[in-house]
Structure formats: C-alpha cells, structure tokens
C-alpha cells in the first residue's frame, strides 16, 4: 500500500507522522471516507466540499486548493492501482506540542489512504443486520456539531463497543431528548406506511453523502420521503429498515432491540434501493486516470 502524506508517497511501513501531531494527541482534525467504483471516485466533489466545510468550522485553514487535493486523491488511486475501493482523506492540525492550544501547529498534515474495505460481510446484505440501542447518548450539537466530520470519534466508538458486547452488528445512538439520531457509523432509514423516513439532521445525525444520495434516488423514483423526529417506537413498528454510509452503502436491518422488522428478511423496497444505488455508483463519478 502506498500512502500519501503532505505531497509525498510512502510505502505503508514508512508512512509516519509526528507524535506531537494534534490529530494524534487530541483528535484535532477532519476526515472523509470516499468510495471508488469501477475506475470512478463517487461523489468526490461533494466529499471535498464537506471536508472544506468541516475544516472551516474548526478554524483549520487548508493550505491546498480543491484542485490540488483532488489530484492527490486521484494519484493515490493510480499508485495503488485502485479501481474499486475505499479512500480515507485525513487532515490534521499538524505538529504542535503537548498543550491544547493549536497556536504552535504551523502547518496542517494531509494524509490519503487508498485500500480495500469490507465493512460488513456479504451475508448481511442478503440476510440483514441486528441492531440495538446503546446507553451511550449522541453527544450534543452544542458541544460538537455533527456537521463537523472530526477525527474525534470516541463517542461513536464507545457506542460501537456496546453493540458488539450485545452481539449486534450496529448500535443506535439517541440524543439527549431520547430521539433517534444515527448509528455509530451509519445513518438510519425506515419505511412506515409506505413513507421513507430518516432522522432530522437537528437530531444529531451526520449529513451523510450516502444519506443525501438515497433521498435523491427515492424521490426520483416517486417515493414519498420525510426527515423527521424519530422515536424508538417508530423503528419497532416499521415495515422495513436499513442503514446507509459510504463504507456500508445500503445494508438492511431485520432486528432492532429484539423486535423483528417486517417479516425478518430484507424488504422489497430496500432491495430496490440497493439496486438503484449500485447502478448509480458504478456509472457516475470522477474518473481515475489510467
């Protein structure tokens, strides 16, 4: 694996950053997870725009232009011979010192990794996931806005551990009002009375690129969609349920907190969306130069 760091490419075993990097010491930075399909990087511009927004929100000035970052992403794909795979784009505050203040971080660090990814084994796309509600709340937007895709994912990791200990593949995070926010690494969708529903962004959910894409696909197909306040009860009584994310894509859910969703199998509309999504990602995107 060839890793990009600050304009240079390194073999995986030689790819290093300073132990004084604020990204390592404090999770001070932002990132994007991006997918490539059949020689194209899907929604690259949307991911780069969100990266810029996240950086601006934490007062991290990017010294590279959008064009420079795009070219670095594509060259990393080339060097790793990636036609279909996963890209992790990371920007840290850079090398500083052991204090919280970032005033000694003179230059951000840009890291790009291109590799394969299997977030869930194939059987879960055929048979569906089991999910549970965690005791860990989604951190308040007043403390860290969910629109910022920051390197500090400890809230999500603690929730993920809870789910694993309960024997589930994913875990639902509630906000301080007891409303459904999202899962530890994915957005949540469900169908109830024929309407496709997902939690409002104000609930603490990330404005996922896949989330937005699924809403667009569903609306183009003539489905009624809604972003709403969501209670656990809504998930317990829904007809179909699935999760979305760049890594997960669209993965069905067949059990939530011990309640069977629908007939216990991935729903027909979920399967239809999965096919529509697969067609879109394999036919659109920014081409990786040969």
Residue at 140 is within a domain: yes
34 & 153 share domain = no
25 & 102 share domain = yes
For the record, the structure tokens of 170 come out as 């994913």
- Nearest to 277, CA basis, from 231, 230, 228, 213: 213
Residue at 126 is within a domain: yes
173 & 244 share domain = yes
105 & 127 share domain = no
What is the DSSP-derived secondary structure letter of residue 170? Answer: E
**pTM metric for this prediction:** 0.94
271 & 155 share domain = yes
Residue at 287 is within a domain: no
Residue at 149 is within a domain: yes
143 & 264 share domain = yes
- pLDDT tens series, the chain, 290 aa: 999 999 999 999 999 999 999 999 999 999 999 999 999 999 999 999 999 999 999 999 999 999 999 999 999 999 999 999 999 999 999 999 999 999 999 999 999 999 988 778 999 999 999 999 999 999 888 888 889 999 999 999 999 999 999 999 999 999 999 999 999 999 999 999 999 999 999 999 999 999 999 999 999 999 999 999 999 999 999 999 999 999 999 999 999 999 999 999 999 999 999 999 999 999 999 999 98
Q: Which of 115, 134, 158 is the last residue of a domain?
A: 115
176 & 90 share domain = no
Q: Which domain holds residue 104?
A: 2-115
Q: Which of 87, 115, 143 is the last residue of a domain?
A: 115
Q: Give the pLDDT of residue 143.
A: 87
- Cβ contact 148:54 at 8 Å: yes
144 & 203 share domain = yes
Which CATH number fits the domain that encloses residue 52? Answer: 3.30.470.10
126 & 82 share domain = no
Residue at 129 is within a domain: yes
Residue at 288 is within a domain: no
In Å, the largest CA–CA distance within the chain is 57
Q: Give the pLDDT of residue 119.
A: 78
Q: Give the pLDDT of residue 118.
A: 77
Q: Which residue has the tokens 């551990």?
A: 161
Q: Which of 72, 97, 115 is the last residue of a domain?
A: 115
108 & 13 share domain = yes
Burial environment of residue 186 by CB neighbours within 10 A (0 to 12, 13 to 18, 19 or more): buried
What are the residue numbers of the active site? Answer: 149
Residue at 51 is within a domain: yes
104 & 133 share domain = no
Residue 287: how many other CB atoms lie within 10 Å: 10
Residue at 289 is within a domain: no
Q: Left, alpha or beta for 94 (phi > 0: left; psi -120 to 50: alpha)?
A: left
Which CATH number fits the domain that encloses residue 248? Answer: 3.20.10.10
Specify the pairing of strand 40-41 against strand 129-133.
Answer: unpaired
User: What is the count of structural domains for the chain?
Assistant: 2
259 & 276 share domain = yes
């Amino acid at each position: 694996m060839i890793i990009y760091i600050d304009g240079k490419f390194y073999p995986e075993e030689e790819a290093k950053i300073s132990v004084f990097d604020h990204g390592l010491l404090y999770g001070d930075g932002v990132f994007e997870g991006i997918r490539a399909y059949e020689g194209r990087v899907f929604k690259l511009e949307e991911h780069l725009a969100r990266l810029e927004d996240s950086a601006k929100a934490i007062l991290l000035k990017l010294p590279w232009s959008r064009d420079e970052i795009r070219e670095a992403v594509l060259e990393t794909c080339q060097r790793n011979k990636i036609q279909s795979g996963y890209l992790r784009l990371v920007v840290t505050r850079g090398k500083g010192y052991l204090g919280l203040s970032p005033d000694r971080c003179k230059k951000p660090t840009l890291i790009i990794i291109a590799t394969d990814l299997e977030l869930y084994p194939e059987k879960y796309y055929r048979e569906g996931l089991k999910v549970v509600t965690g005791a860990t709340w989604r951190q308040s937007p007043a403390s860290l806005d969910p629109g910022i895709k920051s390197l500090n994912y400890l809230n999500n990791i603690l929730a993920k551990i809870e789910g694993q200990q309960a024997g589930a593949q994913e875990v639902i995070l509630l906000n301080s009002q007891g409303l459904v926010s999202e899962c530890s690494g994915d957005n949540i969708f469900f169908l109830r009375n024929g309407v496709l529903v997902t939690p409002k962004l104000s609930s603490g959910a990330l404005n996922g690129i896949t989330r937005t894409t699924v809403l667009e696909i569903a609306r183009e197909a003539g489905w009624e969609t809604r972003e709403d306040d969501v209670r656990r009860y809504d998930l317990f009584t829904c007809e179909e349920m699935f999760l979305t994310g760049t890594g997960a894509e669209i993965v069905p859910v067949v059990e939530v907190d011990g309640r069977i969703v629908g007939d216990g199998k991935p729903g027909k509309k979920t399967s239809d969306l999965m096919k529509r999504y697969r067609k879109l990602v394999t036919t659109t995107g920014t081409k990786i130069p040969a």
